[in-house]
Amino acid sequence: MQIDYNRGLSIRSSRFDLQVPPAVLKINADSVLMLKYSYMHSNGGTIWDLGGVYLADGEQKLRWIGLLRRIKPSPNLPEELVRSWQTMAAGLHPWEGVAYANAGRTEINAMTNQKDVAANRTNIGYTLTLSVDGTQSTAKMKDNFVALERGFKITE
């Protein structure tokens, strides 16, 4: 992990690389970073590995991003989990990558590898969220989200 107030945040893991440019979210001493670890299956065993990132501009969370590794649930799990996966995999609201108002914030969500998941080429999806306080320009939100997507790469 590299943190540079002028260049942003860069995280390289065995599963993904993430670079958050300062134009998307300015990093400073008040920023909040949470690394989300989870159990995963790998090479026939179970491991504890980095499965997500949460980064906010500060305690007030005026602007934050979230990245989360998700696994396709088996059909025998609760219907709510299966339906949630299907919504993400199909790119349906709110996962279509379009800015929308949500409880006084403007957000964009998308499964970064949605096309591969929808085509059943993988059962692992990565969701990305950009959330900003207040009403924001759709064009500016989209530009920031595209920059965030460009800085993300699946390596597993």
Answer whether the bond into residue 21 is a cis peptide, omega within 30°. Answer: no
pLDDT at residue number 44? 87
Q: Can you read off the two tokens belonging to residue 114? A: 């949605």
Give pLDDT tens digits for 16-48.
999 999 999 999 999 999 999 999 988 889 999
Give pLDDT tens digits for 146-155.
999 999 999 9
pLDDT at residue number 95? 96
Under the banding of pLDDT at 50, 70 and 90, the label for residue 50 is very high
Give pLDDT tens digits for 70-106.
999 998 999 999 999 999 999 999 999 999 999 999 9
pLDDT at residue number 43? 84
What range does the domain containing 22 cover? 2-154
- Give me the number of domains the chain comprises: 1
* CA distance linking residue 61 with residue 43, whole number of Å: 38
Sheet with 45-56, edge to edge strand ranges: 32-42, 45-56, 63-71, 124-133, 105-111, 100-102
Q: Do 100 and 72 touch, CB atoms closer than 8 A?
A: no
Q: What is the pTM of this model?
A: 0.92
pLDDT at residue number 60? 77
pLDDT at residue number 34? 96
CB burial of residue 64 (10 Å; 0-12, 13-18, 19+)? buried
> Tokens 């670890």 — which residue?
37
Please determine, for residue 108, whether its predicted confidence score (pLDDT) is greater than 90.
yes
- Residue 55 makes CB contacts below 8 A (sequence gap 6+) with 9, 20, 25, 27, 31, 32, 33, 34, 64, 65, 66
